[in-house]
Structure 1
Amino acid sequence: MVKDDVQELADLLHSASIHLLRRAGEEDAKSGIGAARLSALSVLVFRGAMTLGELAEAEGVRSPTMTRIVQGLEGANLVRRVPHEHDRRSRIVEATSQGRRALQAARRRRIERIADTLQQLTPQERRALRREAELVERLFGHPERPWRPLRRHVAGPGAAIATARSSPIAKSAPARPRAPRG
């Protein structure tokens, strides 16, 4: 692919991801939890309990910003801070059962919204989109690891999917399960 083609594809993916997140995000308002709080809660639910600093790093914000987000989540009884088992000076932030339920409900609404939109596609278009989505997930789904190029020269039907599933990126699970995007 020539550089202009790569730039054009990157622009298309950028635009599509913004539209997808905006459409899915319309459902988030129904949760009564702001986008930043939902995102932090998602990290805690899917990756597990962590320190405030780790949560801030995972979300790409500074500690004071994450402190305010966590305080809001605590006030809504969606997270709690508990003593760190190895460092008495530190506290761990963890999702409460109410927080897990709230996040799952918000996630379910987003997925239903996206699924409703996908119904407009033919079965063949949905299969093609699934293959492409798997490639996008493979490339961008692990922000804690550097991006790696796709392996080339894999023969046979479904080779791209097999390559994605058998890649070192796909095989090496993070220490904590990663949070779904959106």
Structure 2
Amino acid sequence: MSDLTHGDDVAAVNSLRSAVMRLSRRLKHQRVDESLSPTEMSVLGTLSNCGQATPGELARKEHVQPPSMTRIVALLEAKGLVRLEPHPEDRRQKVVSRTEQAEAMLVESRRKRNAFLAGLVEGLDEDEWATLRAAAPVLEKLAQL
């Protein structure tokens, strides 16, 4: 891996950071339910990907402290978006899963955000679009690190 502290690498890192932040802000405005925070939406998305998880597992995946995740899960449960069930192997723990209401909201949210991004992509030429398609898995990997 290159040094990332000199010349073109610094410029590329700065450009990537700036672009990701601007796109993230714009995507946040494409919400279906304004009453949910971006963190709550992220937790629902994580549950959509993994099916179910303990609050501790969700905290690790979302990079938040366990007490914060406990509060987030309680808020989502009060809104009818997640359910808590006893852990099958450790009755001291709970397993969090999304409800059908949450899944329907996520489907609509993804549709709205995808439509927004598709509109932006229309402003790219074929080479730029090909570059972006090729970069998508790398950006996903960065997001998972």
Q: TM-score, normalised by structure 1?
A: 0.72
SS in 2 for 1:82: strand
In structure 2, the partner of 1:116 is 119
Matched, 1:76 2:74: no
The answer (yes or no) to whether the contact 1:77–1:96 under 8 Å persists in 2 is yes
CA drift at 1:141: 4.2
Tell me: higher relative CO, structure 1 or 2? Use CA pairs within 8 A at least 6 residues apart.
1
Runs (4+) off by over 4 Å: none
User: What do the CA deviations read for 1:150-177 (whole angstroms, capped 9, x no partner)?
Assistant: xxxxxxxxxxxxxxxxxxxxxxxxxxxx
Q: How many percent of aligned residue pairs carry the same amino acid?
A: 34
User: What do the CA deviations read for 1:30-63 (whole angstroms, capped 9, x no partner)?
Assistant: 3232211101111111122111111111111111
Q: TM-score, normalised by structure 2?
A: 0.89
Equivalents in 2 of 1:100, 1:110: separation in Å?
15
1:104 to 98, 102, 107: 107
SS in 1 for 2:127: helix
Matched, 1:125 2:133: no
Equivalents in 2 of 1:27, 1:18: separation in Å?
15
Equivalents in 1 of 2:137, 2:65: separation in Å?
31
User: What do the CA deviations read for 1:108-145 (whole angstroms, capped 9, x no partner)?
Assistant: 2111111111111122321122223333334x1432xx
Equivalents in 2 of 1:71, 1:24: separation in Å?
25
Between Structure 1 and Structure 2, how many residues are aligned? Answer: 141
Cα RMSD for the two superposed structures = 1.6
